[in-house]
Amino acid sequence: MEKATERQKILLRHLNPIPSSSSSSINHEPSLLSSVNCVAELSPMAAFGDDIVIVAAYRTAICKAKRGGFKDTRPDDLLASVLKAVVERTSLDPSEVGDIVVGTVIAPGSQRAMECRVAAYFAGFPDSVPIRTVNRQCSSGLQAVADIAASIRAGYYDIGIGAGVESMSTDHIPGGGFNSTNPRAQDFPGARDCLLPMGITSENVAERFGVTREEQDMAAVESHKRAAAAIASGKLKDEIVPVATKIVDPETKAEKAIVVSVDDGVRPNSNMADLAKLKTVFKPDGSTTAGNASQISDGAGAVLLMKRSLAMKKGLPILGVFRSFAVTGVDPAVMGVGPAYAIPAAAKLAGLNISDIDLFEINEAFASQYVYCCKKLELDMEKVNVNGGAIAFGHPLGATGARCVATLLNEMKRRGKDCRYGVISMCIGTGMGAAAVFERGDSADYLSNARVANGNGH
């Protein structure tokens, strides 16, 4: 109870900061024992109605590229499945959507932009609903959600969808896909390091910050263990949209109709002994292996956002509140450290300390950077990736951020009142980190309801 009360104080101070000029006056804090009164007195209470909220967040299963359930599924079909789900499951008129922003990374931009528009038609959106793509590499799906939140807050439209899609079966290009690079990059250390293979940056993190092979393998085993437990318990069913598709036999070319509804990259029997046998991939004397790095994968996700006042008017459940978003730059040679800088920045923007965060989803691009960031921030590992991470599920680059929103908010909903704030974060190629803070959807609803009951409207 004391912990919850303190968090309510933090939120109220954030919404109604006391001006510095009043510091000499009587020190007061809003009474939390009488929520109706304190709500009525708060001058910026419109902030509750203006909160940007998530009313739906769904994803496909995440499948192994080239070998998994989506190896023969086109990216527009993947995206269409989640776009359709967020509209149908909320009974929203698709014509009300002001914009759709889709995070995606590997495919040529103009090609993927057209595929996303096609996907919107597949999902039943009318001509009037626009769509665009965004590419901030591994944070693209989260960036899409943040872009929608910012546009709603700016008043450009009332409802939007932030999504992500990646078909690494279709688009994966060995070596990163560079056709050519500017020779001048070699004269600028930062520019030169932007071109490093991601695996080398993983090795750099491990070497520079002393992350051992054993620590990395332990993190991988734990990721698979938690993911397998989440699947076995049925925890992930609420966030996954089953996709009817086909799979083609590589030898006979025979097509078979299937429904994909379970992540297929998870290895329940992963163990330290087996991982220790794997050879390093990027450096002979390194520590990054195929077993302690994220898998290349196929998948999609979509998140429906609007203002709280509109969600309440429509009678839609509020799954989460978008509280803050931050992107920070770091040394490209150790790009994986990004979350260690982005998470504190996002927490500060939300008026919170890292100790206030109850749950974390941190993308496991490589175990080296994941372990380092958690140690650097001194995180309680019982709060981090509680249902496994990208080492187990896979990392469909542009979709990962949207996938994490669905995973985080559904887990926060399950945990209830003891889980108020959650963070999503990931490192970004070329040296960046992104993070966003979310609040559990019903945690502040009693304040909104009290305000309505008090006659102030919403």
Q: Which residues pair with 133 in a beta bridge?
A: 102
Rounding to the nearest 10 degrees, give the CA dihedral for residues 268, 424, 124, 107: -80
> Among positive and negative, which fits the CA dihedral 213, 214, 215, 219?
positive
| 200: three-class secondary structure by DSSP | helix
Residues with catalytic annotation?
Answer: 138, 395, 427
The rounded distance, in Å, linking the Cα atoms of 162 and 146 is: 8
Paired sense of beta strands 421-428 and 432-440, if any: antiparallel
The answer to whether 161 and 124 have CB atoms below 8 angstroms apart is: no
Please enumerate in sequence order all residues whose Cβ is within 8 A of that of 64, keeping only pairs 6 or more positions apart, or say none. 71, 264, 265, 295, 296, 297, 298, 394
Amino acid sitting at position 404: C
Helices (H), 133-197: 140-154, 168-171, 189-194
- Residue 276, H or E segment: helix 272-276
Give the position of tokens 């003891």. Answer: 418
Handedness of CA 329, 331, 336, 337 (dihedral sign): negative
CB 283 within 8 A of CB 204: no
Which residues have CB under 8 Å from 76's CB, separation 6+?
115, 116, 118, 119, 122
Distances (CA, A) of 444 to 193, 223, 449: 44, 32, 9
Tokens of 418: 């003891």
Place of tokens 């359930």: 69
Q: Using alpha carbons, select from 72, 116, 126 the residue that is nearest to residue 244.
A: 72
Please give the DSSP secondary-structure letter assigned to residue 280: B
Question: How many Cβ atoms are within 10 Å of 93's Cβ, its own excluded?
Answer: 10
